[in-house]
Structure 1
Amino acid sequence: MKDVFALHSIVDADSFPFDPAAYSRFKFGDCDAADTFGAALATGFITAYGEQLLSREQLVILPSPYTSIPTASYYMTLAFAKTLNRYLCIHDCKPVEYAKIHRYKTYSIDYGALDMQSRQALIINDRYHLDREFLLGKTLICTDDIRITGSHELIIRNLLKRFELDNEAYFLYYAQLQNKEIHPNIENKLNYHSVHSLRHLEAVLCAPSFRFNTRVVKYLLNAPAEEYEQLLLRQTPAFLEELADNMISNGYHQMEEYRRNANFLLDHLQKIIPSWQSICKKEKEPILKYQNSLLA
């Protein structure tokens, strides 16, 4: 059995059964919104499937696939797991386990703006990996924030088949597009509902609940250079280091479309943090702008 559960259904392109502004902030790193969504998803899931869950030997949660930088839905999943674990604890059941769907490819295109055919063409060459031995015989809970065309779900279903995992599985979403007359780019409308410029993003970045995710890093690296540079100059060294480390971990500094903004960030870090000078400096050469060193 592989069931699909969505807390909310989208049937109208201009009216949503949840707060689209909060959803947009969630997609750009607002973990207060992620906590709210995750807890609500868990409560709805328990209401629908609670009795079934109590009879399962071991539940394993698999957040949506990512390379190194987590997605927004990863943080939603953490809150989901806390609420689910409390329910399991009350009924003297084992807490959930976690597993990762490893993803070995990343891209700069904004997935939410694409139609179904373009989405499938984009992800068809992605490579994924699962720990088959760890997952054998366990009940899987695959989580994501929204289901638009089902392309990513199909990837996971095929992945389970490829690894010969015939596990019972649930595919969980905070929201699902039910009206097929609505273009899939409705996802972009939601993503950018309240965050559609660096000015709007900065309000999220400054909040105590902010956490980096893939979308935030890509959005910053693809932003207009002058606005991006001014925003970075207003951030703390700790923020800049975390941005740079995330960027490097996903290989974004090696992608041509991000190169200019990546160079500025790394060059600026050399100027303000001595340890970055030793990282970026070439042997027996003076410290230069970053575009003249490692990325040359």
Structure 2
Amino acid sequence: MIPYTYSLHKIDNTTDFGFDPDHYSRFKFGDDLIARSFGKDLADGFIKYYLADNLIIDQIVVISSPYSFIPTATFAMKNYFVSQLNRWLVENGGLSVQETKVHRTVTYKEDYGELSAEERLTLIGNDSFHIDKEFLVGKTLLFLDDIKITGSHERMILKMAKAYGLSNEMHMLYFAELVNKSIHPNVENFLNYHQIKSIFDLEEIIDSGNFCFNTRIVKYILNTASSSFTIFLERRNTDFINQLYDLSLGNGYHTIEAYSKNLHLIKDYIKNNNYKLI
């Protein structure tokens, strides 16, 4: 089982990525407007370089990067990828795509983008991925991710596919891929944090009217020093704080010691606010 791999941008140096690093950074921290641009561009690229000459007549299933409860940034990109792809498929006699999810069981505090190839494989090797095999029978699978650095996530997807005995046609699609292996994998963190240097840099994105939560921003907020976190919390509205708390619990972050202090601050804020309302 050898999947077809496509990446829109090939990273072979650290001076010209082919896309704006500030935009990528904002995308990773919940800027839905940029997620729209990335998703549409990825769909257009895949259509141009593959589908235009190889129309898939089978049912296509689009699958975003694995997550537990809180979606990753890729999920937002996936929404716009699907919209753009559906328009082209329907106009060209294809079927509208379906979607499903790869479930993952392990959540961790470590910043994946900072790790070496070996460290990434060790960390993700403790995880396990699960998918609805029966739903996929006879369908072509498009696995989406925002960036391919060392290929460890892809290996885990292929390991899952082998374990489930999947024989489907598979495509691995990426917004960007590191093709120059002499560049350290932590270039991913260079991109992730290109515009986000502190928790207060998030405020423009959150207040933009085009914000969506994802795992990265929730973990980043919870991992912030409590002194800065308290100021940040005071500037947020009640809906944001409640959603942040509920997402944190849903992803099991209350079981991670490093997040416990800030989660207690959120819990106290919610209790006090509810008391004031009463």
TM-score after normalising by structure 2: 0.97
Q: Which ranges in structure 1 are unaligned for 5 or more consecutive residues?
A: 278-296
Cα deviation code 1:88-115 (max 9, x no counterpart): 1112321000010001110010000000
| C-alpha spacing 1:184/1:234, structure 2 compared with 1 (3 Å) | same
Could you tell me how far 1:221 is from its partner in structure 2? 0.2
The worse-fitting range, judged by mean Cα deviation, of 88-97 and 67-76 is: 88-97
Could you tell me which residue of structure 1 aligns to residue 29 of structure 2?
28
Tell me if structure 1 keeps the 8 A contact 2:24–2:192.
yes
Could you tell me how far 1:249 is from its partner in structure 2? 0.2
SS at structure 2 position matched to 1:261: helix
SS at structure 1 position matched to 2:26: helix
Count of residue correspondences: 277
| C-alpha spacing 1:276/1:57, structure 2 compared with 1 (3 Å) | farther
Could you tell me which residue of structure 2 aligns to residue 3 of structure 1?
4
Could you tell me how far 1:274 is from its partner in structure 2? 5.0
Could you tell me which residue of structure 2 aligns to residue 50 of structure 1?
51
Tell me if structure 1 keeps the 8 A contact 2:57–2:95.
no
Counterpart AA for 1:229 = T
Q: Which ranges in structure 2 are unaligned for 5 or more consecutive residues?
A: none
Tell me if structure 1 keeps the 8 A contact 2:5–2:172.
yes
SS at structure 2 position matched to 1:273: helix
CA distance in 2, matches of 1:40, 1:23: 13
Could you tell me how far 1:35 is from its partner in structure 2? 0.3
Alignment of 1:1-296 (within 5 A): 1-51=2-52, 54-274=55-275
Pairwise CA RMSD = 1.5
Could you tell me which residue of structure 2 aligns to residue 288 of structure 1?
none
TM-score after normalising by structure 1: 0.91
CA distance in 2, matches of 1:251, 1:112: 21
Percent of aligned positions with the same letter in both sequences? Answer: 43
Give structure 1 regions of 4+ aligned residues with deviation exceeding 6 angstroms: none
SS at structure 1 position matched to 2:176: strand
Cα deviation code 1:144-184 (max 9, x no counterpart): 00000000000001110100001101100000001000000
CA distance in 2, matches of 1:238, 1:193: 28
Cα deviation code 1:30-63 (max 9, x no counterpart): 0000000000000000001124553421000010
Counterpart AA for 2:47 = I
| C-alpha spacing 1:3/1:233, structure 2 compared with 1 (3 Å) | same
Cα deviation code 1:181-217 (max 9, x no counterpart): 0000000000000012112111111110010000000
Tell me if structure 2 keeps the 8 A contact 1:56–1:139.
no
Tell me if structure 1 keeps the 8 A contact 2:60–2:97.
yes
SS at structure 2 position matched to 1:6: strand
Tell me if structure 2 keeps the 8 A contact 1:26–1:33.
yes
SS at structure 1 position matched to 2:183: coil
SS at structure 2 position matched to 1:54: coil
